[in-house]
Every structure is written in C-alpha cells, then in structure tokens.
Amino acid sequence: MKKILVPIDFSEQAEFAAKVAAKIAKKTNSEIHLLHMLEMPVDVVDQANQANNSPTALLFLKRAQEKFEKLTKRFFLKDIKVTRSVFFHNTFDGIIEGSKKQNIDLIVMGSQGSSGFEEMFVGSNTEKVVRHSDVPVLVIKNEIEDFELNNLVFASNFEIENKKTFEKIIEFANYFDAKIHLLKVNTPQNFEPTINTHLKIKEFLEGYDLENYSVNIHNDVTVEMGILNFGKFIEADVIALNTHGRRGLMHFFNGSISKGITNHAVRPVITFKLT
C-alpha cells in the first residue's frame, strides 16, 4: 500500500476518517491524498465543468484552502507525506476520478449513517463510491482515538466468486498482523446446515496459506444484525465485505437487510469490489 485517498468536506466525520487514514499510513509507510470537491452553482461553472474566475468561485476556493491549512497542521498528520487538492466537481465523480488519476490503493471516508449498513450506505456519496470504486473503501462513522486492527471479520456466503478479492483482504489484514474471523450468518429464511458451511469454507480456503483465522457460524434474525452482533461480540476492529459494482451491497445481503433496525455503533467497514 502506497497511497491513501481521504475525501474531505471538513465535517467531523471526514476528520474521523483522516485520523484513521493517518494511523494506516504510519503503519504502511503510505502517503495521504486529501481531496475536497467544490460543488459550485451552475452559473459559476462553465460547460467544461470548470469553475470560472468569478469572485464567488475564488471565494469558495480561498475558504477551502484556509480550512485545508488548518487540517494539515493537526497533530495526527505529523510525519506523514500529505498532498491536498481542491477541485470544482461533483463529489462522487471527483472521488472516483481522483482515485484513478492518483493510483490510489485505499479510500478512507467518513459517513454520517446512523443505523446499520443500509442507512450507512444507501443514497449517499459513500454508497456511490462503495459501488463504483475499483479499490477498497474503508468507511468510518465514529471517532476512533487510537485505531488498531487486531480482529477483522470477513462476512460472506463463501461462494467461489467471493474468492476474487479474498487475497486483497488477507493482504490488508497482514499489514496489521490481524486475525481474520470468517463469518457465515444463518437466518430463518436462508438456513444452511453447519456441516455444509464448514465444507464450503474449507473449499473456499483452498490455495491460501492462512494461519491466523477462525471459522464462525452465527444464527440471527437477519444477515445484517448477525454481522453487527458478531462484530460486537468479538470486539472486531473492522468488518470486511465484498460488493458487486451495479448492485452494491445488496447482492451480499440478498434483500435481508432490516429496515427497522435500531441505532448501532457501526464499526469501520471495508468493502472490496468483485470484478
């Protein structure tokens, strides 16, 4: 890992993400790219989607640069190579284009979601980035004073197609010497006998020299609640998921997300796009 992108809108969630990115950067000797998108009014942006030199555009740019100046002086970014960029662009498009242009290895971004995975992702710029990003996206909701990664939960149905990104998950865990907890959630609507799950996971792990891991089968009302409850039970530091591009996270949950789930202190979630 060499380059980490952190989208910045100067919210507290964005700062939470920057703090976690800083910890990862120090651990992996990576550089951080801070990116701010200025979504300007139509009359301030020309047909080429470039801001003109109007007083309004220059004022917005000056304010962004001032905020960046304060952020880059924060203690948690000390001794880290940091570059910062401000573009007049749609937030989602700017993040995706920026990650490709800079050959980013990981995107770390904040989320204001409050209730489980669905509310955390759906309908937000975060959900769009998760769905379209070719690189892993680590979503941070709450402030983490001292981010560590000792326990990573990989929740999956362990179908063969999910092996496509498993090597990247192992690589991410190995940066921190983290233990990978393989998790299959059984629900009343989608139940699988324990022996079948063990055989499926055994086949899934063929070809990998994986030592620091555990196999877990958890029963719960929904897949989402199962993941969150198991993560809380083992005090997981990060939850890892696979996602399809067009279908986002929905392919994983197969429609079993509970819309009425009450607020949870959602742990950091990292997604890996299946190709």
Cα–Cα distance between 242 and 273 in angstroms, integer?
6
pLDDT of residue 256: 31
72 CB neighbour count, 10 Å cutoff: 16
17 CB neighbour count, 10 Å cutoff: 27
What Cα–Cα distance (Å) separates residue 262 from each residue in 33, 225, 258, 259?
35, 10, 9, 9
Domain boundaries, the chain: 3-110, 151-274
pLDDT of residue 200: 95
Cα–Cα distance between 110 and 87 in angstroms, integer?
19
Q: Would you put residue 240 in left (φ > 0), alpha (ψ -120 to 50) or beta?
A: beta
Which residues have a Cβ under 8 Å from the Cβ of 158 and sit 6 or more positions away?
182, 184, 197, 200, 201, 204
pLDDT of residue 244: 72
Encode burial over 127-160: b for 16+ CB neighbours within 10 A, e otherwise.
Answer: bbbbbbbebbbbbbbeebeebebebbbbbbbbee
Domain 151-274 has CATH 3.40.50.620: yes
pLDDT of residue 47: 42
What Cα–Cα distance (Å) separates residue 211 from each residue in 171, 203, 205, 208?
13, 15, 11, 9
Q: Please tell me the pTM assigned to this model.
A: 0.84
What's the one-letter identity of residue 30? S
CATH class label, 3-110: alpha beta
What's the one-letter identity of residue 127? E
User: Does 151-274 match 3-110 at the fold level?
Assistant: yes
**Averages of pLDDT over each 10 residues, the chain, 275 residues:** 90 90 94 81 47 59 71 80 78 84 93 60 69 90 90 93 90 96 93 94 93 96 88 94 65 37 60 83
In contact, 71 and 10? CB cutoff 8 Å: yes
